Amino acid sequence: MAIGSPVTAAAGRPRLAGGGHGAVLLTLLVAAAAAASFPGVESSCQRDNSIVKDISQMPQGSYGLEGLSHATLAGALAHGMKEVEVWLETFGPGQRTPIHRHSCEEVFVVLKGKGTLLLGSSSMKYPGQPQEIPVFQNSTFTVPVNDPHQVWNSDEYEDLQVIVVISRPPMKVFIYDDWDMPHTAAKLKFPIFWDEECLAAPKDEL
């Protein structure tokens, strides 16, 4: 299935805040259509339209990734975001994201701790030996679009806590087994781990 599938578009739409009655009705119709065409949505998907949210009350979890705590502060699926998504993530000492790439923009703000951004190449056939770029508390960094990378809490003792902003949600991520894997062999993971509760994986994925 293509990345920008109609299912994806419909699933994001019910979050639209309607203007008048027409918009409300349209929103309901679209929501009903999305629900009908999308029976895989799990009940654990918590949608929340409120303007102010207490972060400590928001869903957070490891989503199967060891040593990670992830919370989507403003997301496409749960909060109807269209252009950007904001996450709060904490990595335990020594923990890393998978090696991955995505075609959206990504900005990090390091709230606590320090770590290493490993950055591979998108101009060779495979990522190759990554650059090791130190990041630290109160630093901010961006990941170039489509560059394979890994965020690593390279500290032995302290957590690394970051705010992450991405463009064009929901994120489609391609995951590498190692830095020598060809870009063409990286595996699409969509929906990304924490979006699975709100957006079931397309059945006919390659």
Ligand X SMILES: *[C@@H]1O[C@H](CO)[C@@H](O)[C@H](O)[C@H]1NC(C)=O
- Interface positions with ligand X (CB under 6 A): 137-138
Closest distance to ligand X from the beta carbon of 190 (Å): 35
Q: In which residue are the tokens 């040593």 written?
A: 67
Please enumerate in sequence order all residues whose Cβ is within 8 A of that of 84, keeping only pairs 6 or more positions apart, or say none: 74, 165, 166, 167, 169
**Residue, CB closest to ligand X:** 138
Q: In which residue are the tokens 């996450």 written?
A: 87
End-to-end CA distance of the chain: 8
Is 102 marked as binding a ligand?
yes
Is 85 marked as binding a ligand?
no
CB 93 within 8 A of CB 125: no
Distance CA 143, CA 117 (A): 9
Is 79 marked as binding a ligand?
no
Nearer to ligand X, 107 or 200 (CB): 107
CB 154 within 8 A of CB 118: no
Nearer to ligand X, 104 or 160 (CB): 160
Nearer to ligand X, 55 or 206 (CB): 55
Is 149 marked as binding a ligand?
yes
Closest distance to ligand X from the beta carbon of 109 (Å): 10
Closest distance to ligand X from the beta carbon of 138 (Å): 4
Closest distance to ligand X from the beta carbon of 135 (Å): 14
Distance CA 121, CA 61 (A): 31
Nearer to ligand X, 1 or 88 (CB): 88
Q: Which amino acid is it at 75?
A: G
Which amino acids are annotated as binding site for Zn(2+), given as ranges? 100, 102, 106, 149
Q: Return binding residues.
A: 100, 102, 106, 149
